[in-house]
Amino acid sequence: MLSRRGFLLTSTLAAGAGVVPTGVAAEKKPGGAPFDSKNWGAVRRQFDLDPNYIHLSLFFLSSHPRPVREAIAAYRQQLESNPLQTVERLAFGGPPEEYVPAKVCNAIASYIGGSADDIALTQNTTTGLAVIYQGLPLKPGDEILTTTHDHFVHHEAIRLAAERAGATWRKIPLFDSYDSISADDMVERLRKAIRPETRVVGVTWVHSSSGLKLPLRRIADALAVVNRERSPDRRVFFVVDGVHGLGVESPDIVAMGMDAFSAGTHKWIFGPRGTGFVWARPEVWSVMRPLMPSTSSAELFFAWAGEKPPDMPARATWFSPGGFQAFEHYWAVPPAFEFHRAIGPARITERIHELNAQMREGLAKMPHVTLYTPRSKELSSGMVCFDVKGMSPQQVVQRLAERNRVLASTTPYAVPFARVAFGIQNTTAEVEKTLAAIRSMA
């Protein structure tokens, strides 16, 4: 990948390229005091959280752990000291080994099991979904199939793309009631709902409306059977909003069989706020069209300079939104993934499931509580959604905060529920305190 300095052939910066101020000559390696990654108390202390509260909404927007905070601060100081040459060296004009966007893509790829060449950097899940749906080769008469359970931004990304392409979209329920959810039934409902005009199936890995976790591998296998009966130009694309599974469930994202995956890193991954990515198969990128200009690809610039279209097919770097970004946040993404690896993804998964299972089982025993999240590990993840009889979800959340200093949330859907989410920053004692507070609402 050529640098921006390579793009700007007549740049006056070239003459002064050898003058690099102190602190910018090389990327500063984010550090931080060593901690015992096997000790959950030590892990918790890496987050600068207010100790007066029990924080059960960090899936909404994470607190940065120490390595991420320190990386952001170090990069910010370099930018404050000399913004021009810092950006030129680390993002646009330095040697390839110091090109930070490539390091970010490598960090993500090594975690999800894919190739850095197949990753586009975005600001969040919302932007990523727009990049995917607006980029897919939809035509009049094509259809996007999704579910009634997905978030507003997923439905809106689909609606806007369908309107732009002259396509249609349709929603189906995956279950009839929360006490009768079955993996077999959900997969079968999706399979039966596919019509000849269906070109995309879009789902959410972990539903923020209920805490339900979908069996992605099984859905991918069902779609593979459908696609074997279709020509390549009529295959069904499998798109996943994965933000609430990433950092909780197995990191082997690519092995789950989807075609395109969007997620922010500022939730369960504890990455810098305002950072995210899209991963897609190279054969999917190749048929997509970018939504906005990108400054991550030299070939796009040289095509423009030569007054000709870029040579097809398209690739992931064409889809990273261009222009100036919050550089110190983007550059500090790798320490978040390193933090996860230091603790161990499998240990993180086990811990989050253990805490939330403790919460689900406790709520299930309360006659004044209706539990919506499935109790099985196979169909649940890091969230627990429920109602308290005689109280609105907003009243439950308000009472938890005011009387117990427990920071819960409500699900932002047409039918809201009260919602808690226990992460690696939490303890079993906090689960019991939360259960006691809800028990007192009887």
Residue 98, pLDDT score? 85
Q: Rounded to 5 degrees, what are φ and ψ at 384?
A: -135, 120
Residue 312, pLDDT score? 83
Determine the length of the chain.
442
Q: Tell me the average confidence (pLDDT) per consecutive run of 10 residues in the chain, 442 residues long.
A: 39 31 36 77 97 97 97 97 93 81 96 96 97 97 98 98 98 95 97 98 98 98 97 96 98 97 98 98 96 86 90 92 93 98 97 98 98 97 98 98 98 96 98 98 96
Residue 237 near residue 275, CB atoms below 8 Å: no
Residue 420 near residue 56, CB atoms below 8 Å: yes
CATH 3.90.1150.10 fits 345-439, yes or no: yes
Identify the burial level of 163 via C-beta atoms within 10 angstroms of its C-beta, where 0-12 means exposed, 13-18 middle and 19 or more buried.
exposed
The full DSSP string for 166-214 is T-EEEEE-S-SSGGG--HHHHHHHHHHH--TTEEEEEEESB-TTT-BB-
Q: Beta strand 369-371 with 276-280: parallel, antiparallel or unpaired?
A: unpaired
Residue 9, pLDDT score? 30
Domain boundaries, the chain: 105-340, 345-439
Q: What is the pTM of this model?
A: 0.91
Residue 94, pLDDT score? 67
Residues 6 or more apart whose CB falls under 8 angstroms from that of 249 comprise: 205, 206, 213, 349, 381
Give the position of tokens 């970010």: 104
Residue 97, pLDDT score? 82
For residue 159, the SS3 value is helix
Residues 6 or more apart whose CB falls under 8 angstroms from that of 256 comprise: 216, 217, 220, 240
Q: Which fold has domain 105-340?
A: Aspartate Aminotransferase; domain 2 (3.40.640)
Residues 6 or more apart whose CB falls under 8 angstroms from that of 29 comprise: none
